[in-house]
């Protein structure tokens, strides 16, 4: 890596409420993806493949699974004497003494980390995107143009741009406007959440922002302020980039991996994606297994039918079971003759024999999270047990840890949300 | 298992002549097995599951793949401050260079390792065993009996395996004889796992006249002297990978509906260094069934009853049946692989056909390649449209120009010219 940038901070603290059940008990960057990864693996692997081996991860919401996943950073070669990876959680200090109020505040509260390193420029990344990127050319452009900040940009269809920060760029590549999640986006040129900052300039902007009433957010506050100074460069990035913002985009990004010529091949020896490997034997496909257009990981046992699906480590599909257009996370058990259709199962879900998850045609949106669960996907929370023979409709949501006794009426109709008695879904309660 | 301390010595250095192209670049202990392992993973994993963390691996023949595989032992939690795994290759000394002349000689040359360990017992086992053995109960029994040596025995293998000397014992387990003839058909045989009391083993190795062979020059003399030598029967799955047929059979046994060797047992996982590969993907019309499939595989053709190691690519229209296909081998479109062992990095050209059918044993190795298997050596390239019958051997690194004809009948051999090696 260019010596000017040796340290990166990854923003991984956010509450990913739009991922519904998947992110209720884990930070969004820790959500499992692609059969053996977690979303943050892509950013972490990009960093080490770009030669950055000194990384701080800013976490706040449910950091435990992320902490377990990263541990000492060994899979990324980040268990090092100098540098390495550090999880930066909110702490109590003599001056700052609070939860992170936003992404910018998170960096500000940890500014000492940046200062200690004496670096002139800082790379700020986000932990919830799926993409491959070499950050070195980005930094080189930033330095060559003498920018105060450089924002990696990506083109999406204009109608999708309102979910992102949209940038306006002049003929020389300088950013003239930065609109965070505009209702009527002027173009499809969006910020990827990948930034290089001149540390002196960023320090000043963060300090000023800290004392103000604001969202303390890079996209909403810091970048618009810097853009006004006129030295923020746009760095367009071609290829594949996917924000895992919603359950639908999560589902689609996973199933995109299964296309005959995937836009984002997981296997690329020149730019491997690293993750802690589980100790599992190779996948075992029984003599009557039928596996089509699917991703199958170590530790899975398939005796039934699997079509256009992704099986995480340790998943068992028993004889006569059918798994179709589904994502099944680690150690789930699909009983004999059970059917999954457009279902997302979190870890260690138990689907009793003959049960159906995802039945019916058109379906109403989910009662509890209508805006995130309306495209026909049914989602089952971690460790839930679906009783034998029960049918669950579409756009349904089964809470984590439910047991057979929590299905008093048997079948669960489309659009329904099954909770544990007394259990309130975390994001419904917070109104997100 | 800190008290009494145990030193484990794994014998992994012998050249396996009967493995031919499979064993020219590696020992049997280093053979890829079961879709992601190497054979020695069983010995190492058994040790750590049994609480034995002080291990030496004796290497000699083609040790590099083994050294690279074991490294500092991280995969087995053997990168430890106290104990851990040490690689013990034969090395040159001031007074001459000595290769290990045999199993006992290898121990003699590592006498300092044995002395430094100050172990009470020394477990000596062969690195080419496929078995899940808990050494704990064996150690307990060994101690209780006050044995100078415990030989772990297994039922005499049925089938066409190599003949092994029977270990005869009294009902109490005390070994009475290890006859050199096929006198006692059906008696148990040595599993190549020996547990010595350190004092007796050291005394034996210290003798100036000790011969090079563990069985003949250490075990038998101890028995002849009337030392307490016991047999400890082990009746679980046990295979020694000494030949191509043994390797193929032990591999295919993993594909049984309820395999005798369960790799999925969460209480006794077999550890191995994991490669950073993406999960396996079944794409297009890919149709795998009845197989073990490792990460990094891309299956666009048909696979039946086979073991696929990481990174294998089976292209559209290709068929792989009853075969073992190692790392990064490619089976191109329309090719057919039947009853074959395909080593790492092999390329099977489009429309080629490898193995299958029947025919005479191999021309050059009739003893070792007669059961109908085709063996394709590491990095070899089978030309597009080529046809290779059963019992054939394609040398390591063979190229298209090395094939004397497009069609090679059963029992043929394809040599790589110029001694090319992958």
Predicted local confidence at residue B97, as pLDDT:
64
Which H or E element spans position B237? Answer: none
Chain A interface mutation, best of B37, B252, B280, highest count of A Cβ atoms under 10 Å: B280
Q: Is pLDDT of A421 > 80?
A: no
Quick one: closest CA in A to B261, which residue?
A281
B334 in the Ramachandran plot: left (φ > 0), alpha (ψ -120 to 50) or beta? left
Backbone angles phi, psi at B324, to 5 degrees: -115, 120
Tell me: the pLDDT tens digits for A209-225?
Answer: 988 888 889 999 999 99
**CA–CA min distance A265, chain B (Å):** 9
Residues of chain A contacting B288 with CB distance shorter than 8 Å: 285, 289, 291
Chain A interface mutation, best of B34, B295, B301, B330, highest count of A Cβ atoms under 10 Å: B295
- Cα distances from B256 to residues B31, B156, B378, in angstroms, run 21, 22, 27
CA–CA separation, B277 and A274 (whole Å):
8
Q: Is A285 within 8 Å of B290 when comparing Cβ atoms?
A: yes
If contacts are CB pairs under 8 Å, which of residues 313-342 in chain B contact chain A?
Answer: none
Q: A197-236 burial, b for 16+ CB within 10 Å, e for fewer?
A: bbbebbbebbeebbeeebebbbbbbbbbbbbeeebbbbbe
List the one residue out of B401, B398, B371, B376 whose CA is nearest residue B388. Answer: B376
Predicted local confidence at residue A205, as pLDDT:
96
Out of A266, A284, A285, the one facing B279 most closely (by C-beta) is: A266
Chain B interface mutation, best of A33, A279, A281, A296, highest count of B Cβ atoms under 10 Å: A281
Q: Is A291 within 8 Å of B289 when comparing Cβ atoms?
A: yes
**CA–CA min distance B258, chain A (Å):** 10
Quick one: closest CA in A to B277, which residue?
A267
Please state, rounded to an integer, the average pLDDT across all residues of chain B: 92
Q: Is A293 within 8 Å of B290 when comparing Cβ atoms?
A: no
Q: Is B288 within 8 Å of A285 when comparing Cβ atoms?
A: yes
Tell me: the pLDDT tens digits for A109-129?
Answer: 899 999 999 889 999 999 999
Residues of chain B contacting A260 with CB distance shorter than 8 Å: 283-284
Residues of chain A contacting B293 with CB distance shorter than 8 Å: 282-285, 296
Q: Is pLDDT of A40 > 80?
A: yes
Residues of chain B contacting A283 with CB distance shorter than 8 Å: 280, 292-294
Indicate the pLDDT class of residue B294, thresholds 50, 70 and 90. very high
Residues of chain A contacting B307 with CB distance shorter than 8 Å: 282
Q: Is pLDDT of B4 > 50?
A: yes
Q: Is pLDDT of A200 > 60?
A: yes
Predicted local confidence at residue A82, as pLDDT:
82
Q: Is B284 within 8 Å of A282 when comparing Cβ atoms?
A: no
List the one residue out of A346, A258, A261 whose CA is nearest residue A308. Answer: A258
CA–CA separation, B151 and B145 (whole Å):
13
ipTM: 0.90
Indicate the pLDDT class of residue B40, thresholds 50, 70 and 90. very high
Q: Is B278 within 8 Å of A290 when comparing Cβ atoms?
A: no
Q: Is B293 within 8 Å of A279 when comparing Cβ atoms?
A: no
Indicate the pLDDT class of residue A13, thresholds 50, 70 and 90. confident
Q: Is B270 on the interface with A (CB under 8 A)?
A: yes
Indicate the pLDDT class of residue B307, thresholds 50, 70 and 90. very high
The residue among A184 and A93 whose pLDDT is bigger is A184
Q: Which residues contact B193 (CB under 8 A, 6 or more apart)?
A: B123, B124, B125, B126, B129, B133, B138, B151, B152, B234
Residues of chain B contacting A290 with CB distance shorter than 8 Å: 287, 289
- For residues B50-67, give the mean pLDDT: 92
Q: Is pLDDT of A16 > 70?
A: no
Predicted local confidence at residue B419, as pLDDT:
55
Could you give the percent of chain A with pLDDT greater than 70? Answer: 94
Per the listing, tokens 């998943």 go with A315
Indicate the pLDDT class of residue B283, thresholds 50, 70 and 90. very high
Q: Is pLDDT of A415 > 60?
A: yes
Predicted local confidence at residue A245, as pLDDT:
82
CA–CA separation, B108 and B100 (whole Å):
9
Q: Is pLDDT of B259 > 60?
A: yes
Q: Is pLDDT of B165 > 60?
A: yes
If contacts are CB pairs under 8 Å, which of residues 150-189 in chain B contact chain A?
Answer: none
Predicted local confidence at residue A89, as pLDDT:
80
- For residues B391-407, give the mean pLDDT: 95
- For residues B65-80, give the mean pLDDT: 92
Q: Which residues of A touch B (CB under 8 A)?
A: 34-36, 75, 257-258, 260, 265-267, 272-275, 277, 279-299, 301
Q: Is pLDDT of A95 > 60?
A: no
Q: Is B363 on the interface with A (CB under 8 A)?
A: no
pTM of the model: 0.91
Q: Is B295 within 8 Å of A292 when comparing Cβ atoms?
A: no
Lowest mean pLDDT among A8-22, A104-118, A147-161, A301-315: A8-22
Q: Is A283 within 8 Å of B292 when comparing Cβ atoms?
A: yes
Q: Is pLDDT of A428 > 80?
A: no
**CA–CA min distance A42, chain B (Å):** 12
Structure tokens, B422: 């992958």
Burial class from Cβ neighbours inside 10 Å (0-12, 13-18, 19+) for residue A106 reads buried
Q: Which residues contact A52 (CB under 8 A, 6 or more apart)?
A: A1, A5, A6, A7, A8, A123, A135
Indicate the pLDDT class of residue B100, thresholds 50, 70 and 90. confident
Out of A275, A280, A291, the one facing B288 most closely (by C-beta) is: A291
Predicted local confidence at residue A61, as pLDDT:
75
Could you give the percent of chain B with pLDDT greater than 70? Answer: 94
Q: Sign of dihedral through CA atoms A87, A92, A96, A101?
A: positive
Predicted local confidence at residue A94, as pLDDT:
56
Q: Is A258 within 8 Å of B274 when comparing Cβ atoms?
A: no
Residues of chain B contacting A296 with CB distance shorter than 8 Å: 279-282, 293
Q: Is pLDDT of B265 > 60?
A: yes
Q: Is B282 within 8 Å of A292 when comparing Cβ atoms?
A: yes
Predicted local confidence at residue A252, as pLDDT:
93
Out of A34, A36, A281, the one facing B263 most closely (by C-beta) is: A281
Please state, rounded to an integer, the average pLDDT across all residues of chain A: 90
Residues of chain B contacting A301 with CB distance shorter than 8 Å: 264
A415, A393 Cβ separation under 8 angstroms: yes
Predicted local confidence at residue A1, as pLDDT:
47
- For residues B19-48, give the mean pLDDT: 95
Q: Is pLDDT of B46 > 90?
A: yes
Q: Is pLDDT of B81 > 90?
A: no
- For residues B279-295, give the mean pLDDT: 96
**CA–CA min distance A387, chain B (Å):** 25
Tell me: the pLDDT tens digits for B315-374?
Answer: 999 999 999 999 999 999 999 999 999 999 999 999 999 999 999 999 999 999 999 999
**CA–CA min distance A297, chain B (Å):** 5
**CA–CA min distance B290, chain A (Å):** 4
Q: Is A277 within 8 Å of B34 when comparing Cβ atoms?
A: no
Q: Is A282 within 8 Å of B293 when comparing Cβ atoms?
A: yes
Q: Is pLDDT of B418 > 80?
A: no
């Amino acid at each position: 890596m260019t010596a000017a940038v040796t340290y990166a901070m990854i923003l991984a603290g956010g509450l990913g409420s739009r991922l519904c059940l998947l992110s209720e008990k884990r930070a969004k960057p820790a959500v499992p993806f692609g059969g053996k990864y977690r979303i943050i693996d892509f950013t972490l692997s990009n960093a080490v493949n770009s030669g950055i081996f000194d990384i701080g991860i800013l976490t706040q919401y449910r950091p435990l699974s992320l902490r377990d996943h990263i541990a000492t950073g060994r899979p990324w070669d980040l268990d090092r004497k100098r540098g390495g990876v550090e999880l930066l959680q909110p702490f109590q200090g003599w001056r700052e003494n609070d939860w992170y109020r936003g992404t910018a505040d998170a960096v500000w509260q940890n500014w000492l980390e940046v200062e200690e390193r004496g670096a002139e420029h800082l790379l700020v990344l986000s932990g919830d995107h799926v993409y491959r990127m070499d950050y070195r050319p980005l930094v080189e452009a930033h330095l060559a143009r003498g920018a105060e900040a450089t924002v990696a940009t990506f083109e999406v269809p204009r109608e999708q741009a309102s979910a992102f920060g949209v940038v306006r760029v002049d003929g020389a590549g300088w950013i003239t406007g930065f609109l965070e999640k505009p209702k009527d986006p002027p173009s499809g040129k969006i910020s990827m959440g990948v930034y290089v900052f001149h540390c002196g300039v960023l320090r000043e902007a963060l300090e000023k922002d800290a004392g103000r009433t604001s969202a303390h957010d890079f996209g909403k506050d810091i970048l618009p302020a810097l853009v006004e100074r006129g030295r923020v460069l746009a760095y367009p990035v071609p290829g594949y980039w996917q924000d895992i913002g919603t359950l639908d985009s999560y589902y689609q990004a996973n199933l995109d991996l299964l296309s005959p010529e995937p836009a984002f091949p997981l296997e690329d020896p020149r730019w491997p994606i690293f993750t802690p490997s589980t100790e599992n034997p190779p996948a075992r496909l029984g003599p009557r297994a039928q596996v089509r257009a699917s991703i199958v990981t170590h530790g899975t046992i398939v005796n039934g039918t699997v079509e256009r699906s992704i099986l995480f480590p340790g998943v068992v599909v028993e004889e006569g079971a059918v798994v179709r257009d589904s994502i099944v996370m680690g150690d789930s058990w699909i009983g004999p003759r059970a059917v999954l259709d457009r279902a997302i199962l979190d870890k260690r879900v138990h689907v009793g024999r003959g049960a159906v998850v995802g039945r019916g045609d058109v379906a109403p949106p989910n009662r509890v999270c209508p805006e995130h669960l309306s495209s026909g996907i049914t989602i089952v929370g971690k460790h839930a047990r679906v009783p034998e023979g029960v049918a669950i409709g579409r756009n349904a949501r089964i809470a984590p840890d439910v047991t057979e006794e929590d299905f008093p009426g048997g079948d669960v109709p489309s659009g329904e949300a099954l909770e544990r008695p007394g259990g309130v879904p975390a994001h419904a309660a917070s109104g997100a | 298992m800190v008290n009494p301390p145990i030193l484990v010595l794994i014998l992994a250095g012998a050249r396996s002549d009967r493995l031919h192209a499979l064993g020219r670049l590696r020992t049997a202990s280093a053979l890829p097995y079961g879709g992601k392992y190497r054979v020695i993973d069983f010995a190492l994993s058994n040790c750590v599951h049994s609480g034995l963390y002080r291990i030496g691996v004796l290497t000699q023949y083609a040790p590099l793949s083994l050294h690279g595989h074991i490294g500092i032992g991280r995969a087995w939690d053997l990168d430890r401050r106290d104990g851990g795994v040490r690689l013990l290759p034969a090395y040159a000394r001031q007074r001459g260079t000595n290769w290990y002349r045999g199993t006992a000689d290898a121990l003699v040359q590592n006498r300092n390792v044995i002395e430094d360990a100050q172990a009470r017992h020394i477990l000596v086992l062969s690195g080419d065993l496929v078995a899940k053995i808990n050494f704990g109960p064996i150690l307990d029994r060994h101690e209780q009996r006050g044995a100078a040596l415990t030989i772990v025995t297994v039922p005499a293998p049925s089938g066409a395996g190599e003949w092994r000397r029977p270990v005869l014992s009294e009902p109490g387990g005390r070994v009475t004889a290890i006859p050199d003839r096929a006198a006692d058909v059906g008696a148990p045989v040595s599993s190549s796992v020996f547990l010595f009391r350190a004092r007796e083993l050291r005394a034996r190795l210290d003798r100036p006249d000790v011969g090079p062979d563990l069985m003949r020059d250490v075990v038998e003399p101890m028995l002849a002297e009337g030392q307490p030598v016991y047999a400890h029967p082990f009746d679980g799955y046990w295979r020694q990978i000494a030949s191509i047929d043994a390797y193929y059979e032990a591999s295919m046994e993993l594909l049984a509906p309820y395999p005798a060797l369960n790799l999925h047992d969460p209480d006794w996982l077999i550890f191995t260094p994991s490669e950073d590969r993406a999960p396996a993907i079944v794409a297009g019309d890919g149709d795998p069934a009845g197989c073990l499939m490792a990460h990094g595989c891309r299956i666009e053709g048909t696979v039946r009853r086979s073991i696929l190691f990481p990174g294998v690519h089976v292209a559209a229209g290709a068929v792989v049946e009853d075969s073992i296909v190692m790392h990064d081998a490619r089976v191109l479109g329309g090719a057919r692989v039947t009853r074959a062992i395909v080593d790492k990095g092999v390329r099977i050209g489009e429309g080629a056909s490898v193995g299958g059918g029947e025919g005479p044993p191999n021309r050059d190795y009739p003893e070792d390649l007669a059961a109908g298997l085709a063996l394709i050596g590491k990095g070899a390239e089978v030309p597009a449209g080529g046809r290779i019958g059963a019992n054939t051997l394609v040398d390591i690194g063979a190229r298209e120009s090395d094939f004397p004809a497009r069609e090679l009948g059963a029992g043929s051999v394809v040599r790589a010219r110029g001694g090319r090696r992958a």
